[in-house]
Structures are given as structure tokens and as C-alpha cells.
């Protein structure tokens, strides 16, 4: 009975988190994912969970199921056809952002290689997934390569800490700084320079309205089917590569399903996927032991900071050479380093409505590519 209550707590708590983020602007700016992690950390370190019989199995089960089901839900609504309409410089800027992350991650691997970090290639792969995709990719790659959970939680912890400084930078002085050497954005529609209240829109509000129940059930059913196909296919392979294959198959089928108009039009599928991400974030954070932070963890923190700010510097240099404008540079960099939910807030700080589509497109492309590049990185660096 206690285990069932724990399951319901993890599954339903994100409803309260989303309600609080909708009501309080400060929490909305912090983000539901961060709030979920914080709540999970607190719960996990109060010492109450060990009092519940079967709590570890509940946490393991929810961790194992949420990400593979969430991935296709996040991909259903993307529009591959529209990617071809992204301005040439925006697509070029995205390519620079991806290349910058890959370069800095590999460079960091060699810099931190003899610093006592066990299975550094695990960390490198997760950072590729995180900073080309986002939290779902980080979690998916962690699952796919079977990385150590303590290491995973260290990456999550310092991503939150360093990410806070990064977000403060891009939303305050970044535009003024990069305008010193990058050209200003040229508006197609001058009115787009005033974003108004767009940053206050809450796509999660109304997730459980009557008219969305059927589409949500349909989306969830298709995601379960894709998860089942991936799981069945993995049984034909050695155990060591099963999870990686499951994640890649699920990602590929999720992208393929987005090409079906009926699937793409299903309302709130992306939001449902992010809801499952919130569940995952709470569960995985509740398994963290803050007492495990040590010198090795601080070195991982240094690696995270090196990737975040090093990739920004390399992308800025490439943008200067190819004359990418300041707003496009900032939004594509932010879309990869953070997540789609932050794009609206950053666009608002730039006072640029036109840049939203470019940012969201970059984030979704990163979400789709992150798993492939992360697992490829793990495979490559493990063999060096």
C-alpha cells in the first residue's frame, strides 16, 4: 500500500508543480524541471523513503519507463518540413552550435582524462546529449549506456548550478556584449521587435481539459506502441547494447511518426512528454545522495562549465567569421544549452518575436539529434 502511494505521489506531484509555476511568475522563470529536481532532492535527503518498503523498486521502475515513453511524445509535434524554411544563417548558426559542443566535449575529455573521473566517456556522452538536446537526451543516454547513477546525478546537479549563471548571462548582458563584434538582427517585420506578453504563455495550462483527454490517450498509446517495438527489437541483440538500441529505435520511430499528419496534430503530446520528464526528474533526484559530492564531483563540475562556456566562445568566433547576427547566435546557443521551454523567455529578453521559431526549431532539432550524437560519442571515446 505504501509503495502504491509513493507511485501516485511521483505521478501526480508534477500537477502541483505546474500549478505553482502557472500561478507564480518567479517559479515559472525558474522552470518546472528545476522545481521538480529541487523537490526530489529534498525528499531524497530527508531520510523518509527508506522507511517505505519497496521504495527502491518503485524508483527504478519509474526511472526505466518514463524516458522511453516521453521521447516519442516529445517528437510527435515537430515539423521536419518546416526545417527547410529556417533562414540559411539560422541553420548555419545551429550547425556551429552543434559543432562547438562536440569540439569542446572532446577537448574536455582529454583535459580531464587523468583527473580521477571514472568512465569519463560516460560523462562526455551525457554532456553531448544534454547540450545538443536537453534533459530528456541526458536521461536517455544515461539509460542507454548504463552510466553510474552517482555520476549522472553529479552532472544533473552542476548543470542546474552552472545553468543558472548561464541563463542570467544570456538574459541580461549577453546581447549588449556580442553586439560589440556581431551584427544586429535584421527584422523582417519591425513589429516583431516587441515581444509583448508572449513569454507569459503557459502551454501546460489546460493539459487535462476535457477536449484534450482523447488526443492525450491517443498520443500515449502510440508512444507505448513505439516503446514496445523498441523493446521487442532489442531482445534480438546482446544485453550490453540493448538499451542503446531501444533509445535509438524509439527516437527514429518518434521522428517517423511526426511525418504522419494525424499523429502530428494530436494536441498536447509534447506537453505530456514533458510531464513524464518532470516525473523522471523528481524520481531520479530523490535517489541522489548529496553527501557524495567530493573532489571528483568538483572536477565534473569543471568539465560541465568548460563545455557550457567553451562552446559559447567557439560558436561566437565562428559567428564572427561568418557574420551571424547577435540574436541568432544567442537563441541557437541557448536552445541547445538549455531547453525549448527557455526559448520564449530568452526571446523576450531580446525583445524579438521573430527569433522564437528559429530557437524552437533549433531546440527540437537538437532534441532529435542529441541521442544519436551522444551514443556515438560514448562509442568513440570509450575506444580511445
Read off the pLDDT of residues 35-58 as tens digits, 9 standing for 90 and up: 887 888 888 878 778 778 888 888
CB 117 within 8 A of CB 299: yes
Which segment of 26-40, 247-261, 265-279 scores lowest on mean pLDDT?
A: 26-40
* pLDDT of res. 196: 42
CB 153 within 8 A of CB 288: yes
Distances (CA, A) of 126 to 136, 162, 255: 11, 16, 21
- Give the number of other Cβ atoms within 10 Å of residue 11's Cβ: 17
Nearest by Cα to 327 from 83, 93, 85: 93
Whether the model pTM is above 0.75:
no
Instruction: Give 146 or 326, the one with higher predicted confidence.
Output: 326
Q: Maximum Cα–Cα distance for the chain, whole Å?
A: 62
Residue 189 in this model has a pLDDT that exceeds 60: no
Mean pLDDT of 200-215: 72
CB 311 within 8 A of CB 104: yes
Nearest by Cα to 152 from 105, 119, 109: 119
Structure confidence at residue 239 as a pLDDT band (50, 70, 90): low
Q: Nine-digit cell at 229?
A: 517495438
* pLDDT of res. 78: 72
Amino acid at each position: 500500500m505504501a509503495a502504491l502511494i509513493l507511485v501516485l505521489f511521483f505521478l501526480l506531484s508534477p500537477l502541483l508543480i505546474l500549478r505553482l509555476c502557472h500561478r507564480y511568475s518567479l517559479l515559472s522563470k525558474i522552470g518546472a524541471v528545476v522545481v521538480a529536481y529541487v523537490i526530489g532532492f529534498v525528499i531524497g535527503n530527508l531520510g523518509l523513503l527508506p522507511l517505505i518498503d519497496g521504495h527502491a523498486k518503485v524508483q527504478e521502475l519509474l526511472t526505466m519507463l518514463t524516458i522511453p515513453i516521453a521521447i516519442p511524445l516529445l517528437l510527435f509535434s515537430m515539423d521536419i518540413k518546416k526545417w527547410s524554411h529556417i533562414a540559411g544563417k539560422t541553420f548555419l548558426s545551429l550547425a556551429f552550435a552543434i559543432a562547438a559542443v562536440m569540439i569542446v566535449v572532446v577537448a574536455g575529455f582529454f583535459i580531464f582524462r587523468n583527473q580521477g573521473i571514472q568512465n569519463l566517456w560516460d560523462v562526455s556522452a551525457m554532456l553531448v546529449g544534454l547540450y545538443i538536446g536537453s534533459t530528456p537526451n541526458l536521461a536517455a543516454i544515461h539509460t542507454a549506456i548504463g552510466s553510474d547513477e552517482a555520476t549522472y546525478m553529479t552532472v544533473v546537479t552542476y548543470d542546474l548550478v552552472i545553468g543558472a549563471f548561464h541563463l542570467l548571462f544570456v538574459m541580461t548582458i549577453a546581447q549588449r556584449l556580442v553586439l560589440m563584434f556581431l551584427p544586429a538582427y535584421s527584422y523582417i517585420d519591425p513589429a516583431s521587435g516587441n515581444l509583448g506578453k508572449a513569454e507569459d504563455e503557459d502551454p501546460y495550462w489546460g493539459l487535462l481539459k476535457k477536449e484534450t483527454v482523447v488526443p492525450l490517450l491517443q498520443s500515449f498509446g502510440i508512444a507505448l506502441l513505439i516503446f514496445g517495438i523498441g523493446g521487442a527489437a532489442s531482445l534480438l541483440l546482446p544485453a550490453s547494447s540493448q538499451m542503446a538500441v531501444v533509445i535509438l529505435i524509439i527516437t527514429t520511430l518518434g521522428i517517423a511518426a511526426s511525418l504522419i499528419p494525424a499523429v502530428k496534430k494530436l494536441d498536447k503530446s509534447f506537453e505530456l512528454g514533458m510531464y513524464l520528464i518532470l516525473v523522471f526528474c523528481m524520481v531520479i533526484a530523490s535517489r541522489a545522495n548529496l553527501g557524495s559530492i567530493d573532489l571528483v564531483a568538483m572536477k565534473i563540475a569543471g568539465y560541465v562549465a568548460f563545455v557550457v562556456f567553451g562552446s559559447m566562445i567557439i560558436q561566437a568566433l565562428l559567428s564572427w567569421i561568418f557574420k551571424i547576427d547577435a540574436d541568432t547566435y544567442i537563441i541557437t546557443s541557448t536552445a541547445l544549452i538549455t531547453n525549448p521551454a527557455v526559448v520564449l523567455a530568452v526571446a523576450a529578453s531580446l525583445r524579438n518575436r521573430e527569433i522564437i521559431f528559429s530557437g524552437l526549431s533549433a531546440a527540437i532539432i537538437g532534441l532529435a539529434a542529441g541521442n544519436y550524437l551522444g551514443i556515438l560519442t560514448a562509442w568513440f571515446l570509450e575506444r580511445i
